[in-house]
Structure 1
């Protein structure tokens, strides 16, 4: 899996995001491009903000047992897969605002680097290795950028 913590890969992902336009259409799924960008930012909101409530102990146990490996492994996501409720975008989103916000999160993550994420507590899965964090960040971005053909 490509390493989102390196400047080279971060720049590559941002270049793909820059190819999107407000009228970009998905190859599958129902989200608009603005909604997709906001959806991708949720992962970072869970790291950098208190916007999303942490699951209770029982829910965290279930997530660790049944969802964690899907999120942190190198196996790509399937098209039209299920998503957690906090990732569902129902209202329209401003493309330019969401694009800037996502890029800012990606840059911040790269600048903090692998060391910051090694052993860092995940919102839903407990402590993760830097490799697991990388896989979750990169795989999710790559999946949705592919969804929009960039």
Structure 2
């Protein structure tokens, strides 16, 4: 798994995002490119803001027990997998603003670096290692950028 905390990897991902156009079509799935970018931004919103309510204790236990490994492992996501409710983007989103938000989140994450994320509390899974944070960040972005052919 590539390391999103590495400057070269971050730049590679940013270039892939820059190659998207507002009318880029997905190879699978139902999201528009603007919706996909907004969907990817949710991951970072959960890290950098409080706009998404944290799951209650029972739901966190379920997430840690049954979902966490699929998110933080190196195993790729399947096409057309089930999406958590807070990640569902059903309304149309502004492509350019969502793209700029995602690029900004990538830059911030890379600048904060691996050490910042070691042992950092996740919104849904409790404390994660920097490697688990990397896997969740990179794998999710790679999955959706591949979905849109970049």
Give the TM-score, by structure 1 length: 1.00
The runs of 5 or more residues in structure 2 that have no matched partner are none
Deviations 1:93-113 (A, max 9, x none): 000000000000010000000
Superposition pairs for residues 1-150 of structure 1, below 5 Å? 1-150=1-150
The alpha carbon displacement at 1:115 in A equals 0.5
| d(CA) in 1 for partners of 2:6, 2:128 | 18
The runs of 5 or more residues in structure 1 that have no matched partner are none
| d(CA) in 2 for partners of 1:95, 1:47 | 22
| d(CA) in 2 for partners of 1:62, 1:68 | 9
SS of residue matched to 1:89: coil
Paired residues, what number? 150
| d(CA) in 2 for partners of 1:107, 1:77 | 24
Q: Which runs of 4+ in 1 moved over 2 A?
A: none
| d(CA) in 2 for partners of 1:95, 1:83 | 21
SS of residue matched to 1:74: coil
| d(CA) in 2 for partners of 1:36, 1:98 | 9
Give the TM-score, by structure 2 length: 1.00
SS of residue matched to 1:3: coil
The alpha carbon displacement at 1:80 in A equals 0.2
